[in-house]
Structure 1
Amino acid sequence: MSLQRDLEARVDGEVRFDAGSRAAYSHDSSNYRQTPIGVVVPHNVDAAVEAVRVCREHDAPVFSRGGGTSLAGECCNEGVVIDWSKYCNNLIRLDEDRRRALVQPGICLDDLNDLLAPHGLQVGPKPSTHDTCTIGGMIGNNSCGATAQAYGKMADSVIRLEVLTYDGVRMWVGETSDEEYEKILAEGGRRAEIYRAMRGLIDDNLALIRTRYPDIPRRISGYNLDSLLPENHFNVARALVGSESTLVTVLHAEIELFPVPNHQTLAVLGYPDIFRAGDAVTRVASYKPLALEGLDETLIDIARAENVAGKQALGGLPEGSGWLMVRFGGDTREEADERAERMIRDLKGTEHDPHVAFLDDPGEEERLWKIREAGLGATAYPPGHPDTHEGWEDAAVPPDRLGDYLRDFRALLNEFDYGQASLYGHFGQGCVHTRIAFDLEDPDGVGKYRRFVERAARLVASYGGSLSGEHGDGQSRAELLPIMFGDEVVALFGRYKRIFDPGDRMNPGKVAAPPGRRVHRLDENLDHLDYNPREPRTHFSYPEDHHRFTHAAARCVGIGKCRSSSGGVMCPSYRVTREEEHSTRGRARVLMEMMRGETITDGWRSEDVNDALDLCLACKGCRGECPVHVDMATYKAEFLSHHYRWRIRPREHYSMGWLPLSARLAAAAPGLVNKVTHAPGLNRVVKWAGGVDRRRDLPHFAGERFTDWFARRGSQGDGDPVVLWPDTFTNNFHPDAGKAAVRVLEAAGFRVEVPPVPLCCGLTWISTGQLGTAARVLRRTVRALAPRLRRGVPVIGLEPSCTAVFRSDAPELLDGEPVAEDVRLLAKRTHSLSEFLLDRAPGFVTAPLPGTGVHAIAQPHCHQHAIWGFDADGELLARAGIQAEVLDEGCCGLAGNFGFERGHYEVSVGVGELGVLPAVRKAPDGTRILADGFSCRTQIEQRTDARPVHLAELLAEVLT
Structure 2
Amino acid sequence: MAVSADGTRRDERTRGATAHDEDALRRALETRVDGEVRFDAGSRAAYAHDSSNYQRPPIGVVVPRTVDAGAEAVRVCAEHGAPVLSRGGGTSLAGQCVNTAIVIDWSKYCTALVSVDPDARRAVVEPGACLDDLNEALSEHRLMVGPKPSTHDTCTIGGMIGNNSCGASAQAYGKMVDSVVRLEILTYDGLRTWVGETSTAEYDRVQDEGGRRAEIYRALRELRDDGMELIRTRYPDIPRRVSGYNLDSLLPENGFHVARALVGSESTLVTVLHAEIELVPVPPHQSLAVLGYEDVAAAGDAVPRVLPSRPLALEGMDARLLDLAEGLGLATPHQVEEMPEGAGWLMVRFGGDTKEEADRRARDLVDRMERAPLRPRRTFIRDPAEEERLWRVREAGLGATAYPPGRPDTHEGWEDSAVPPDRLGDYLRDLRALVDEFGYGPVALYGHFGQGCVHTRIPFDLEDEKGTGNYRRFIERAARLVTRYGGSLSGEHGDGQARGELLPIMFGDDVVRLFERFKAVFDPDDRMNPGKIVHPNRLDDDLDHLGYAPAEPHTHFSYPDDHHRFTHAAARCVGIGNCRSSSGGVMCPSYRATGEEEHSTRGRARVLMEMMRGMPGDQGSNPPAPGPGSATVITDGWRSTDVLDALDLCLACKACRSECPVNVDMATYKAEFLAHHYAGRIRPPAHYTMGWLPLWARFAAFAPRTANAALHAPVLDGVAKRIGGIDPRRDLPRFASERFTDWFKRRPPREVGTRVVLWPDTFTNNFHPHIAKAAVRVLEASGYRVEVPPVALCCGLTWISTGQLGVAARVLRRTAAALAPRLRDGVPVVGLEPSCTAVFRADAPELMEGDACEDDIKRLRDQTRTLAELLDDHPDTIFDGAADVRAVAQPHCHQHAIMGFGADERVLARAGVDVETLDAGCCGLAGNFGFERGHHEVSVAVAEQGVWPAVRDTAPGTPVLADGFSCRTQIEAGTDARPRHLAELLADLLPDPDPDPRPEPSP
Query: What's the TM-score bracket when you normalise by the shorter of the two chains?
Result: over 0.9
Moved over 4 A (4+): none
1:446 and 2:468 equivalent? yes
Q: What's the offset of the Cα at 1:420?
A: 1.4
1:854 and 2:881 equivalent? no
Q: Secondary structure at the match of 2:728?
A: coil
Match of 1:287 among 309, 320, 325: 309
Partner of 2:185: 163
Q: What's the offset of the Cα at 1:848?
A: 2.6
| Deviation readout 1:630-650 (Å, 9 max, x if unpaired) | 000000000000000000000
8 Å contact from structure 1 (residues 604, 642) kept in 2: yes
Partner of 1:557: 574
> Aligned partners of 2:352 and 2:881: how far apart in 1?
39
1:923 and 2:954 equivalent? yes
8 Å contact from structure 1 (residues 105, 250) kept in 2: yes
Q: What's the offset of the Cα at 1:349?
A: 2.8
Match of 1:886 among 898, 917, 920: 917
| Deviation readout 1:234-256 (Å, 9 max, x if unpaired) | 00000000000000000000000
Partner of 1:874: 905
| Deviation readout 1:235-280 (Å, 9 max, x if unpaired) | 0000000000000000000000000111101110000111110000
1:584 and 2:606 equivalent? no
Match of 2:546 among 529, 537, 542: 529
8 Å contact from structure 1 (residues 693, 901) kept in 2: yes
Partner of 2:613: 596
8 Å contact from structure 2 (residues 881, 909) kept in 1: no
Q: What's the offset of the Cα at 1:821?
A: 1.0
TM-score, structure 2 length as denominator?
A: 0.95
1:504 and 2:526 equivalent? yes
> Aligned partners of 1:635 and 1:848: how far apart in 2?
43
Match of 2:785 among 751, 770, 774: 751
Partner of 2:746: 712
Q: Secondary structure at the match of 1:205?
A: helix
1:573 and 2:596 equivalent? no
> Aligned partners of 1:757 and 1:22: how far apart in 2?
50
> Aligned partners of 1:309 and 1:617: how far apart in 2?
28
Q: What's the offset of the Cα at 1:818?
A: 1.2
Q: Aligned pairs, how many?
A: 952
1:478 and 2:500 equivalent? yes
1:40 and 2:44 equivalent? no
Match of 1:669 among 684, 703, 715: 703
Q: Aligned partner of 1:368: which letter?
A: L
Partner of 1:544: 561
Matches within 5 A, 1:600-749: 600-749=634-783
8 Å contact from structure 2 (residues 150, 167) kept in 1: yes
Match of 1:186 among 189, 208, 212: 208
Partner of 1:130: 152
Q: Secondary structure at the match of 2:775?
A: helix
> Aligned partners of 2:219 and 2:649: how far apart in 1?
50
Partner of 2:945: 914
| Deviation readout 1:837-896 (Å, 9 max, x if unpaired) | 111x320245434xx221110000000000121000011111110011000010000000
Q: Is there any run of 5+ residues in structure 1 with no aligned partner, and where?
A: 513-517
8 Å contact from structure 1 (residues 268, 318) kept in 2: yes
> Aligned partners of 1:40 and 1:352: how far apart in 2?
55
> Aligned partners of 1:55 and 1:193: how far apart in 2?
23
8 Å contact from structure 1 (residues 594, 609) kept in 2: yes
> Aligned partners of 2:334 and 2:866: how far apart in 1?
22
Partner of 1:373: 395
Q: Secondary structure at the match of 2:714?
A: coil
> Aligned partners of 2:429 and 2:645: how far apart in 1?
50
Q: What's the offset of the Cα at 1:717?
A: 3.8
Partner of 1:781: 815
1:520 and 2:520 equivalent? no
| Deviation readout 1:73-120 (Å, 9 max, x if unpaired) | 000000000000000001000101000010000000000011111111
8 Å contact from structure 1 (residues 855, 926) kept in 2: no
> Aligned partners of 2:71 and 2:392: how far apart in 1?
39
Q: What's the offset of the Cα at 1:959?
A: 2.2
Q: Secondary structure at the match of 1:470?
A: coil
> Aligned partners of 2:448 and 2:57: how far apart in 1?
33
Q: What's the offset of the Cα at 1:682?
A: 1.1
Q: Secondary structure at the match of 2:364?
A: helix
Match of 1:211 among 226, 229, 233: 233
> Aligned partners of 2:387 and 2:878: how far apart in 1?
30
> Aligned partners of 2:880 and 2:542: how far apart in 1?
62
Q: Aligned partner of 1:694: which letter?
A: P
Q: Aligned partner of 1:251: which letter?
A: L
TM-score, structure 1 length as denominator?
A: 0.99
8 Å contact from structure 1 (residues 717, 750) kept in 2: no
1:772 and 2:772 equivalent? no
Partner of 1:420: 442
8 Å contact from structure 1 (residues 623, 632) kept in 2: yes
Q: Aligned partner of 1:102: which letter?
A: V
> Aligned partners of 2:485 and 2:442: how far apart in 1?
23
Q: What's the offset of the Cα at 1:309?
A: 2.9
1:947 and 2:978 equivalent? yes
1:277 and 2:310 equivalent? no
Partner of 1:236: 258
8 Å contact from structure 2 (residues 147, 167) kept in 1: yes
> Aligned partners of 1:99 and 1:714: how far apart in 2?
73
8 Å contact from structure 1 (residues 142, 470) kept in 2: yes
8 Å contact from structure 1 (residues 845, 879) kept in 2: no
Q: Among the aligned pairs, what percent are the same residue? A: 72
Q: Aligned partner of 2:416: which letter?
A: D
8 Å contact from structure 1 (residues 173, 237) kept in 2: yes
Q: Secondary structure at the match of 2:498?
A: coil
8 Å contact from structure 2 (residues 288, 382) kept in 1: yes
Partner of 1:50: 72
Q: Aligned partner of 1:868: which letter?
A: M
Partner of 1:830: 864
Partner of 2:172: 150
8 Å contact from structure 1 (residues 441, 529) kept in 2: yes
> Aligned partners of 1:604 and 1:715: how far apart in 2?
51
> Aligned partners of 1:860 and 1:892: how far apart in 2?
9
1:794 and 2:825 equivalent? no
> Aligned partners of 1:131 and 1:939: how far apart in 2?
27
8 Å contact from structure 1 (residues 880, 958) kept in 2: yes
Partner of 2:118: 96
Q: What's the offset of the Cα at 1:353?
A: 1.5
Partner of 1:842: 875
Q: Aligned partner of 1:848: which letter?
A: G
Q: Aligned partner of 1:526: which letter?
A: L
Partner of 1:9: 31
Q: Aligned partner of 2:809: which letter?
A: A
Q: Secondary structure at the match of 2:177?
A: helix
1:268 and 2:290 equivalent? yes
Partner of 1:515: none
Q: Aligned partner of 1:306: which letter?
A: L
Q: What's the offset of the Cα at 1:346?
A: 1.0
> Aligned partners of 1:563 and 1:30: how far apart in 2?
17
1:176 and 2:198 equivalent? yes
Q: What's the offset of the Cα at 1:404?
A: 0.6
Q: Secondary structure at the match of 2:496?
A: coil
Q: Secondary structure at the match of 1:432?
A: strand
8 Å contact from structure 2 (residues 781, 878) kept in 1: no
> Aligned partners of 2:715 and 2:803: how far apart in 1?
31
Q: What's the offset of the Cα at 1:362?
A: 1.2
Q: Secondary structure at the match of 1:742?
A: helix
Q: Secondary structure at the match of 1:806?
A: helix
Partner of 1:804: 838
> Aligned partners of 1:652 and 1:848: how far apart in 2?
46
Q: Say what the alpha-carbon RMSD is for the aligned residues.
A: 0.7
8 Å contact from structure 1 (residues 92, 101) kept in 2: yes
